[in-house]
């Protein structure tokens, strides 16, 4: 299932996938896979993404 909330939060911060990927220390393809719902990130990566986007886990990853 696509993670549109992540995509929206990233866009709201005016970050590209590449920029977010560099901030959290992963590849752009990984961010793309998370947004497309192709990859389930670990809690560690979820937290890093949340911190980078100033969001909570609930806001970005809880269904």
Partner 1 sequence: MSMEYKMGLFFGVLAGALAGLLFVALMKHKKVIDCHFDERQERARGQAFKYAFFTLAVAVICYGALDTIFTLPCDTLTAVFLCFCLTMVVFAVVCIRKEAYLSLYEKPGQVMMLFGVIAAFNIGIGAIYLMEGTMVENGVLTFRACNLIVGVMMLVIMGIYALHISSSGEEEAE
Nearest Cα to Cα of residue 30 among 47, 54, 39: 39
Does position 42 bind partner 1 by CB under 8 A?
yes
Does position 9 bind partner 1 by CB under 8 A?
no
Q: Which of 5, 13, 23, 33 binds partner 1 (CB under 8 A)?
A: 33
CB 53 within 8 A of CB 7: no
Q: Which of 5, 13, 17, 47 binds partner 1 (CB under 8 A)?
A: 17
Q: For partner 1, give the closer residue by CB, 44 or 63.
A: 44
Residues within the interface to partner 1 (CB under 8 A): 7, 11, 16-18, 25-33, 39, 41-42, 44-45
């Amino acid at each position: 299932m696509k993670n549109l909330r992540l995509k929206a939060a990233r866009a709201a911060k005016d970050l590209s996938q590449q920029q977010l990927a560099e901030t959290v220390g992963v590849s752009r393809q990984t961010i793309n896979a998370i947004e497309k719902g192709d990859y389930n990130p670990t809690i560690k990566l979820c937290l890093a993404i949340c911190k980078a986007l100033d969001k909570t886990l609930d806001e970005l990853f809880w269904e």
